Structure 1
Amino acid sequence: MGYICLARSIFSSRSLRESLAGFSDASAAREWLVANIKGLGYKEASHFLRNIGLGGDLAILDRHILKNLALLGVIDEVPASPGRKMYLEIEKKMTRFSNEVNIPMAHLDLLLWYKEAGEVFK
């Protein structure tokens, strides 16, 4: 069965909005999305939650963000493909840095992404 068909079967009895409303924070919602939506990883789940207004404190760790975190000394090196444990460790370091420089996470990762990509397309 394809990913879309699997997702459709999960939400046949309740909507995605209803499913996500049951979580107390965005991190718990992200864990649920990653565990239940086949093909969705931490970056994609964080991005989805941010786009629907629930993930302002979550990091969207793409290569642009990771490269800049390394340049800023927040992380030692850019991982090729961070798994769950490493993703959450880097997110924690980025959150700490975000607090130190007094820039909200959502703004910080947009700033770092823009610095690297040179454009914002939304």
Structure 2
Amino acid sequence: MKPPLSDLLPVLSKPILRLPRLTGPALVMGSAPNFRLPYGHDAGWALITVNASQILAETFGLAAPDMALMRRGILVGQGEQDFYKRDLLKGRQAKHLIVPIWPDVEDKLKAGCRTFDYRYETLQALTRWQLAN
């Protein structure tokens, strides 16, 4: 006899993630216009960038991001903006790269990063299931 679904939910609802733990304050950079560094920002803050906002971070003299969240189209997409962003990010790196909704194809993700020499210390691909939990 199969166990009731309610017995499985606690197990199913806790996906395994290999996400780094950041401590202290963090600066999250996206594509908001007129960005300014927050009052009190210093080198002790973690830096989290979204998509190609790493370029903006460099204009403020900030180091490579501790964590970069990047949509998969930037890595393997064929659109004009995808090629443009790959050119912008060429040769750059992040400590931890996270790509949402990339189920079970980390090899393709790694190959996509190699095409424009984007480096990382750790890589985490998030599936829809992991994002929902």
Name whichever structure is richer in helix by fraction: 1
Structure 1 or 2: more strand by fraction: 2
Q: TM-score if structure 2 supplies the norm length?
A: 0.27
Pick the structure with greater CA Rg: 2
